[in-house]
Chain A
Amino acid sequence: MADTQVESPKKQEQVGGRGIGDDGALREFGSNLVQTPGRFRDSMIRHGTPTSSRTRSQAIFTNFFLHILPTRTHVHAIKAMTTLGLGVATFVLFLLLCITGILLMVYYKPSVDQAYGSMLDIMHVVPTGRLMRNVHRWSAHAMVFCVILHMARAFYTAAYKGRRQFNWVIGMSLFVMTLALSFTGYLLPWDQLAFWAVTIGANIAQSPQELTDVLGITSWFDVGRMQKELLLGAHHVGQEALIRFYVLHVMVLPIVTSVLIAVHFWRIRKDGGLVRPRSADEVPADHATPPAKSPPGKAVSPVTSAPLKTYGLMGLMHGKTPAVNRELRNTISTWPNVLYVIGAVSMVTVLAMLVLGMFFDAPLREMANPAVPENPAKAPWYFLGLQELVSYSAFMGGVGIPAIVVIGLALVPYLDREKEDTGIWFSGAQGRRVALWSVGFAVVVVVGMLWFTVSVGWLRDWESTAHVPQIVITIFNPGTVFVVVFALWSLFIVKRTNSTRMGAIGLFTCFLVGFAILTYFATVHRGPNWDFFWSESDWPVH
């Protein structure tokens, strides 16, 4: 950088113009040429090697891609147990899906006549096509998995409180987006599984008819039909549906998801970084200056404790006081510490996907055949819990209960506002106990209920209730029983512990356990005709 101001003395002599035969400009050109790599770098990155606090901060805040991070990060944020790396893993999977997805788009043709063929091409002819498709499929599964775990992490560390309330709501919409992305992607291969799973999905969208039929308003207000027609553009899954799902899958949903992710990340900054326990802000005993007397939990001053908001450099450059260049208490330089962590999580995530994609092929059944239903037509694993509920009644299982759960989860931050014990897993020992009890409770309720419906049956299997009105069948779903019982359990805990946080832990745990058991049950124990089997080897051959 030192040479930028140097001018050749010769040039100054010839202000009025250059003489013929003078080689000054030529020499300058030569030297420019030699210096270009260095100057190119300097023009791109306008600070020195990140070795001092100042240049490290500059490395973060002068970089478009990194300036979403604070220049200094609280040490608590990069402890493994704070996030388990799950948010970053989810984000990396999303990027991986975008990259492999764009590559697949090069060959994929969204037409009912050609889609399946292009899948076969991708699997057998296109160079690296099989690997890209496999990585895309596994990353999609992994993203759903990670987003659920990430949500559970944010929940159990009470990261949805105070300033972070709204980011939890953004998170819920990201959760829904993730599921929508994978549902729309499911149709694209146009194989038997795709066709029948989406047929079922579209009919679930139509199932509000069960309700409007009972109310007798279907003829003039048919939400179910509207939803189905909007989704399929037709009455059956066909070309119209394929194009719609394609547009949603490759354009609409990725864009909406990207915007939501950007807001999600931006708000983490504005909300004061990742959630941390109050104890994380206490000044370590070995520190020289005693902490100023102030009420606990309040920021003392920008330099003696981590600020509530992450101002980045401003905290550092505050005049010529002795505090300058001394580390903010309990914070570390983002470059390189946080970047190492993010990099490591990304590498592990990508590696896992590559290995999975290398050794396990994404399934592809026979081409879609509207005349022969796939039996059983199982949706992707994360929808199988719902599919189990749908097998008792479509509306409650497929629309009612998911809506109650999503809205209920989004409201959690507004119903539980106790501000103690954020940033601590389960908010401490009592929360751990409540969670454990809730696991036990939910296991008993869900397994008991499944055992009951499998061995004894459900409403229409019994003499006395075989002909109850349809509305009873619609509403009285085993899932409805779960929702009611879990809600009561949660209220019981609130009363018993006198804490809404404990009630929330109980409720969330019950739903997580219910989701896990139903998913497992429908994956392993449901076979042809949605009958119960101990394992797939017992399925009748047909």
Chain B
Amino acid sequence: MTPKQDQLTGAKRFKTPKTRRDFLGLAAAWSAVVALAMAMLGAMRLPMPSVFPESNSRVKLGTPERYAVGTKQYFPKHRLWLFRDEAGFHAISATCTHLGCIAVRNDDGTFHCPCHGSKFDAIGNVEGGPAPKALVWVQLTVSPEGWLVADTFKEVKQGTVLVV
């Protein structure tokens, strides 16, 4: 069989029918390759963390009585806005859903992000800019000891309120 020669590079490609011997050799070679690939994959599992340094995502925000109806308070450390209105408590994360900057709450209750100008309304819906989704509503609970607790990893549906 004559090799097919690439005009430009001079590379020769042989096309020959496979014999049984070739087949066994190829099978062996490919098994080795697959084994190696799986081993690499296994090694790559190591840098995928299963426990996170921030795994304690529950933060205490004091007792519910501390916040009168009409409260709007920001917790810079947790990047969290806590609101209490007639319906109850809700908390909105200030982390911008675009690329993680901190959205700022305007005087009229809407939010804007300084990084690329995303705009959100008072309950977090995207009003402008590149942000792909609404600001996250964070789960609020009351602990057995009576603390108001926010779990910054747990998202709840927009409009969910905690009635105390």
Interface residues of A (CB under 8 A from B): 161-163, 165, 196, 199-200, 202-204, 207, 209-210, 213, 226, 229-230, 233-236, 238-240, 244, 371-373, 375-377, 390-395, 417, 419, 460-461, 466, 470, 473-474, 528-531
List 14 additional A-B contacts (Cβ < 8 Å) besides A234-B49, A238-B53: A199-B101, A200-B101, A230-B47, A234-B53, A235-B52, A239-B53, A371-B77, A390-B99, A390-B130, A393-B130, A394-B130, A528-B114, A529-B112, A530-B115
- A461 to B128 alpha-carbon distance, docked (Å): 6
Please tell me if the beta carbons of A474 and B132 are within 8 angstroms of each other in the complex.
yes
Other-chain residue from A199, A213, A234 in contact with B132 (beta carbon distance below 8 A)? A213
Other-chain residue from A161, A238, A240, A394 in contact with B99 (beta carbon distance below 8 A)? A394
Answer yes or no: B127 CB below 8 A from chain A CBs.
yes
B32-62 CB mask vs A (1 if < 8 Å, else 0) is 0000000000000001110011100000000
> How close is B75's CB to chain A, nearest CB, in angstroms?
10
Closest to B79 in A: A371
Q: Which residues of B contact A229 (CB under 8 A)?
A: 48-49
Instruction: Identify 8 residue pairs between A and B in the complex whose beta-carbon atoms are under 8 Å apart, listed by A's number.
Output: A196-B101, A199-B101, A226-B48, A373-B115, A377-B115, A470-B132, A529-B114, A530-B116
Other-chain residue from A162, A239, A390, A417 in contact with B116 (beta carbon distance below 8 A)? A390
Interface centre among B53, B54, B99, B112 (most CB of A within 10 A): B99
Please tell me if the beta carbons of B47 and A466 are within 8 angstroms of each other in the complex.
no
Interface size range of chain B in the complex: 20 to 34
Please tell me if the beta carbons of B132 and A375 are within 8 angstroms of each other in the complex.
no
Answer yes or no: B72 CB below 8 A from chain A CBs.
no
Q: Which residues of B contact A419 (CB under 8 A)?
A: 7-8
Interface of A is mostly: helix
Please tell me if the beta carbons of B49 and A376 are within 8 angstroms of each other in the complex.
no
Answer yes or no: B154 CB below 8 A from chain A CBs.
no
Q: Which residues of B contact A200 (CB under 8 A)?
A: 99-101, 115
Closest to B101 in A: A373
Closest to A165 in B: B9
> How close is A406's CB to chain B, nearest CB, in angstroms?
21
Answer yes or no: B105 CB below 8 A from chain A CBs.
no
Which B112-141 residues have a C-beta within 8 angstroms of A? 112, 114-117, 126-130, 132-133
Answer yes or no: B76 CB below 8 A from chain A CBs.
yes
A233-B47 contact given A390-B116, A391-B116, A419-B8, CB 8 Å threshold: yes
Other-chain residue from B100, B112, B132 in contact with A473 (beta carbon distance below 8 A)? B132
Closest to A232 in B: B49
Other-chain residue from B10, B54, B115 in contact with A235 (beta carbon distance below 8 A)? B54
